Structures are given as structure tokens and as C-alpha cells.
Structure 1
């Protein structure tokens, strides 16, 4: 069997509607739109955790966060967790990760230390752009060392605390962290973190063109802060960008210094510019696959680890309670040799844990018993496939489920939230205490209980007792 190559293009903090292919007429994403036109676009794809580390290991292990015991940040991923590179290694795959992986906390370590392999053959780890001495800074140092001072987007506060307490001398130049507006990348355009990820991914593909390979292109964008080369910022006139739709009670909380129109439009300009930069490099990756003669039998899967509030709910970034702007992210699969009738959009519910069993089935590899997702290979063949009844999100202290029309959140203190997405797609109106929704609330409680029982995974027993 001529197994397919696998290219996972993995962005950070990209919400589902930040693609023109998903109905956003403001954003410019021609290469990702091309990917959708040549593949299958999963329009209701949900991640299992609202923040980076738990979501990433859940995705790359095909297991729910509760099974892994990793439901919040800063938990190092154990090296014996069964992940995608380990599952394909016995079947001849050469594996690599370029850019962000985020299996380890990044604020309290020296990034020059040897990173655990996690069964990857090739690692060029850079979990944050330019603020640590890592593979990204080494790449720039080798190319144009005079540009090193322009790379950092700001030192994370946790790293600042760690350096102060531990007496670590930081020799990297840092700007102010996370201004609430768009900013131009101060260095040369071809030396951004996204450029690094794309160039080194191309190099990996070229080096292994005769092999069967798996490569993850781990882009940091469009994660805050909102910094992109000026040429991508210039694609967007902030005055012409739309504002979030707020209920009156929320809109009254805004002011000239708190989520003003100017601030919101500038943030959106930066966010969209970062995505357009990634889109530019996605185009280069797709073109390089074509040039190498690898396009036909390479599965290209584009997705993200979670979304971004982008001013919705008067918030930025991500987190509780995992509304659609956080839990629903893009997922596009292209595989010319293995997809029937490309250009389709699938509106059924799919979870991030479903990707691993799908890739394994496509590659003719047994689906490991540890995996909790369900393969959607039939969908790629355009065979009968309905998707799931609900998607589950788990975090320490709360869980939620998302059905076709509703979202239910339950917290460890007993607090409940219920949203009707048909009337309230942005999830501002909690219906849990409304008497007329009591039956629906009871139904969603049962769904949550049944789903958590279904995903329970006790340790294997060695014999009867």
C-alpha cells in the first residue's frame, strides 16, 4: 500500500468564522479557500478544551482531556502518552513538528535544552514567537542575525516572574506585551515566526520527498498579540471592518477606553492580517507539494487548537465557558487521491478527537484501542455519515456539550447555563433558570451524564480479579 503523506497545518486561536470559505466576506484567505474547494470543509468541528495545551494533546492523542488527566494549562505531557507520531512510526512514517507543539509549559524552562521527542524524528520547537532562545531565533541568527532584536512579541508574564524568582538573566529584547491594537512586525517580512514555520516545513518535505512522512506545521498566528507585516495589515481598512453585535446591556458597558469601536476594529485588523499571512504561507506549502509531485497522495488537514473572543462578550483570547467563538474552529481536509467529490461542506458535528482515527484509517493503520474519537473516513468517501449528536468540551471545574441547536454548561459548584443557538448564536442569554425550558434543561443534563459515562476509560485489567 502506498500510504499517504500527512501535513497538519495547525494554527493557534483561530475561530471558525475567520475564513472566507466559512462565510466571512471581510477576510482574505484565498489559499485556504482553495484548500476548501479541493477538499471537504467541516463546518461544525469542535475542540475538546478551550485553551492551548489540553486541546493540543487531546487532538494529537485522540483522547478526551479527562482521560489524559490534562484539563488545564501547565501540565507537562507524559512522554508515554500514545500520540500520532508514535502510532504511524511502525508503518514507515518519518515524523516532524515545526513551530508550536506546546506539550511542555514554556515559561519555566530553558528552550535550548533538548526537548523530549514524543516519538517525532524531527523537532524544531518554538512555542512562542521570538521571546525565548529556541529554534526560531536560531533560524534567524543563521540567516540575518541583525534582525534578532525585532523578533520577540513580548515576554509572557509567567516567564517574567520565573526569571525574577530564579535569577535568570534574560538577554532577549522584548516590547510591551499584548497591546490592544494591531501592530506592524518591526523586522523584515520574511523573518516572522510564520515564515520560519513555512520555510522549515518546506525543507522537511523536500528532504523526505522519497519517504512517507507526517509533518505538523505549528503556526503561532493568529494568537495575540496582533502583530503582522505591514503588507498584510494594509489588506484591511479598519474603518470598514464590522463590529461585534452586542445585546443592549452589554453594549452599555463599553466606553472610549473599554472596547471602543476604534479598539475593536484595530484588533480585528491585526487578527485578520495574521490569518492572511498564514494563508500566504499555506499557499506556498501547497505549491511546494505540487512542485515535488507529492500533492496527489498527501492528506493536508488545516485546523486550530481553539478560537478567539475577538471582542465578543467584551473579551479577548479564550476560555470559559467555551462558546462557539472558542470551541468551534476551522477544519478542512484535502486528499486528491482519497476524497470523493471535493468541494463539499459538511454541517454535521465532528470533534477534534475524531481526526486521529480518521488519519489512521486513511493510511491503513489499525486504530489503537486508546483512541476515543470516531473516524469520519466515510465522509471523505462521500458515503453515508451523520456526524455526532453532541460535542464535548472539558475543563477543570466545568464541562459543556454542544448539540446542533443548544449548548449546556455544568460547573462543579452546581451552576448551569443553557443557550439556544437558533435565537442566540453568540450565547448571551442563559435560559437555565427559565421555567419554559425546564424539559430541555433536563434533556441536556442527561446528555451530559451519558456522554461523560461513554468517554470514561478505566485502566486495563490484567485478569478477572
Structure 2
């Protein structure tokens, strides 16, 4: 079946640590008018899952259309080999001008000099900054040229791994940090007290707009605007904080046992609200710059030829089960992310609840552009769910796999199943009680066997062996 699409260009808006439910259109506290408007003319996938609960494997997986295990990158700190075929290299080879502006995180960023050359991974333009103001990189160079007096106020502190590396190999750098020693991402909310057009999110927005303006009218392009926010630490201009009443922010639904444990770990209701305040403010700041980028597309007329994708590399617990950040067991707060795909030829809104995966994004982009999907990609195109009438397309597998070294997590419409290298298994009914920590007991052995079987079948289905050239 053919799909009528006029897409010639692609804009991917990529964020870090954005929960699936943090969109105003889904009833969230988050104020996201520009993303809500994007969803109102595209397809909002409300059951999209990433293939890793942490940054590096997830990002490599999404931009290659391959599972972390297939890439051999199932935990942090593993550099993506320079020869890896990415969405950018596939399109650049065929004449698209490709750019990544902001975070890429294909290389560990704590133990390297960010001013030195970086593998291009198929991108013609790389304006890279993995963290706001922490390293001498494109972001700091831009602020130095724009407003040098603000340089001393950009960084919220070195992440622990970077601090350890700089202790062993002292770096010759004049980067000023808010405090000495490794930072705690959730220790406190900090107001960005410099001009708001100098934040990291503002830089991503401004550089993306400048790049779009640099394109010739007949030049096709892939542009990735990659925001660090809403990843902690939270360093946000006051006006985005003012959008929210901290005392009115909803608290996580905790069990009685979690409530009893809450005081012992110091994660009080007040602290959770402070963290959520920073998180939602960071989301609204990104949304503001999304609006700027979309306005530029409309001004230039490129909105009529651009496929727009919005998503994130993983989610954030945000106090659920008294947890912060992300990781095992890749429950929905962590592995389920927002995904909006808006095709210029199909402006009608729709919401899809079939299970889809981040590995599906690259094949979808290529299909929309009329480019052959490499056989190495393990995802499937979602274009029918974007371009065909609602209810007429069923291309999702209804199973999502999230991988990490030593364990696998599988999400089906009703359950989450987790298997670990040690032989332990977990099974939660996420349909009956999405936030429950109580494992399924009724008919447990039969359900475990069923999910074990599903995981094996899915593993066999996505297998991609190296091609052979002759029988022997």
C-alpha cells in the first residue's frame, strides 16, 4: 500500500529524561502548549518505549534503528564505533544535509576534551554540548562570543565521573562551577539568573533556527535539535518557574510501606515538590523553544515539507516509589516516553495506543522520505499509523523490549516482565495497577512461562545476522 507523504525534510526534537505523561495534552501538570499544538496536527503515540533506560545505549539505538544488544552497547560508557551506520549517515550519503545541535552522547563525555574533534557519525554539522556549561564545548564558545560575563554562571557542577577523571588527570580549563567536588543532581533547584536567551535550551533553539535559515531552498535536510532538559540538575529561568505553584504540584502515589520509609531516606513531600517544580519548569522552557523552532519552519515555508518527530531518550521516576532518575526495572516512568510524529501531508490529529518502540523511528523517517530502510535496522516503519485512517493500520508488535547489561525488561499491553542474568524473574500487572510494586501471584507460573516464551520469540524475530556471501 502506498503512503501519500510530501516530506522532504526531517526535524527531530530530542530531549533527555522526559516522562511519557508530561504533556499537557495528556492531562499533565506540565504546561506544553507548543508540543500540544504539534500533537494536534500529528500522531501522538502514548505507548512508546525506549530500548535502554539510560542515555548512551538509548540514543545509539534510536539513531541506528537497532537494539542495544545488537550494537553491543547495553550500558553506559561504551563509545559508539565511528563506522556505525546511523540515520544521519544513511541520509547524508543520499544528499540530505544532516545536523545535530545539542546533546549527542555517542562518546563518554566525562573523560575527554570537548574542544577536540569528535567523530561525525554521518552528521555534516555537529554543534555539540552534552551538559550545560560543564565543559569547554560549542555551548560555552557561543556564550563566550555572545555574553562572556555570563560564563561563570552556566555550570551547575561537574558530574561525579568527570570530577574523578579531572582529579586523576587535571584538566587545563577555566570552567567555573557552582561548587567544588561532584554534584548531586537533585540536591537543589537553581534559578538561572543570567539573560534567559543564554540557557542551554535557548542555545539549542537558537542554533537550530540559525541552521534552518542556512539551508538553501532546494536543499533537503535532517536536523536534530537535542535538548539536555528536563534532565537534572534544574537550572531554569524564573519565568518558567513562575508558571507553577509548587505547593499545588501533585505528589506521587506511594504505598503505605513507602510512606513509612520516606522520612528515613529524606525524600520528603517538600523535596519531591521542589524537584518536580524544577522538572516541569525545564519542560516548559523546552516547549517555549520548540515554539520558536516551529515558528521558523512556518516563516520559511519548510513546514509544508518537514516531517517533525518529538521524543526523548528515556523517562524519569520523579519520586515514584521514592526513586529519582532512571534504571532497573525500566518501569513505565523510565522506559515510556512521549512520541509525536507529524507529517506535512497528514495534518489531522490522532492518538495511537499500540505499543511502539524507539527503534521504529529511524525506519519511519526513511520510509517517509522514500529512502530504502537498511536490512540491519530492527525496527519497523510507523508510517501507516501516521498516514492512514485511524484504526486501519496495525504495524506495532505489541511488545517492547528494554535492555541493559544483565537484564531484559519486556512490556506487553497488560504486563511488565523482567528477567535477570541471575535467573530471577519479575511480573507486574501494569494495566490493573500501573504504579503497583506488588508482583502478580495469581496464575503466576503460567504467566511467567507465557512471557518467557514471548521474550524468546521477540528475540528471534529481531535477530540480524551479518550477511553471508555464499553458502560456504
**Same fold judged by TM-score > 0.5?**
yes
Correspondence list, 1:51-450, <5 A: 51-176=54-179, 177=183, 178-210=185-217, 211-255=219-263, 258-337=266-345, 339=346, 342-383=348-389, 384-386=392-394, 387-431=396-440, 434=441, 436-450=443-457
Q: Is the 8 A contact 2:413 2:431 kept in 1?
A: no
Residue 45 (structure 1) aligns with: 48
Cα shift at 1:392:
0.7
TM (norm. structure 1) is 0.97
Q: Is the 8 A contact 1:323 1:426 kept in 2?
A: no
- Structure 2 residues not aligned, in runs of 5+: none
Cα shift at 1:91:
2.6
The CA distance in 1 between the partners of 2:432 and 2:157, in whole Å, is: 40
Per-residue deviation, residues 396-431 of structure 1 (Å, max 9, x unmatched):
000011000100000000011100012220241122
Per-residue deviation, residues 104-136 of structure 1 (Å, max 9, x unmatched):
000110000011111110010001110100000
Per-residue deviation, residues 269-290 of structure 1 (Å, max 9, x unmatched):
0000000000000000111100
Residue 18 (structure 2) aligns with: 14
Q: Is the 8 A contact 1:13 1:223 kept in 2?
A: yes
Cα shift at 1:257:
6.3
- Structure 1 residues not aligned, in runs of 5+: none
The CA distance in 2 between the partners of 1:325 and 1:358, in whole Å, is: 25
* Consecutive aligned runs of 4 or more in structure 1 exceeding 4 Å deviation: none
- The number of residue pairs the alignment matches comes to 460
The CA distance in 2 between the partners of 1:394 and 1:230, in whole Å, is: 38
Aligned match for 2:459, one of 448, 452, 455: 452
The CA distance in 1 between the partners of 2:282 and 2:264, in whole Å, is: 25
The CA distance in 2 between the partners of 1:295 and 1:331, in whole Å, is: 19
Cα shift at 1:459:
2.1
The CA distance in 2 between the partners of 1:256 and 1:181, in whole Å, is: 19
The CA distance in 1 between the partners of 2:175 and 2:460, in whole Å, is: 48
Cα shift at 1:3:
5.0
The CA distance in 2 between the partners of 1:256 and 1:186, in whole Å, is: 34
Q: CA RMSD in A?
A: 1.4
TM (norm. structure 2) is 0.95
The CA distance in 1 between the partners of 2:443 and 2:62, in whole Å, is: 37
Q: Is the 8 A contact 2:356 2:398 kept in 1?
A: no
Cα shift at 1:187:
2.1
Q: 1:2 to 1:406 in 2, by over 3 A?
A: closer
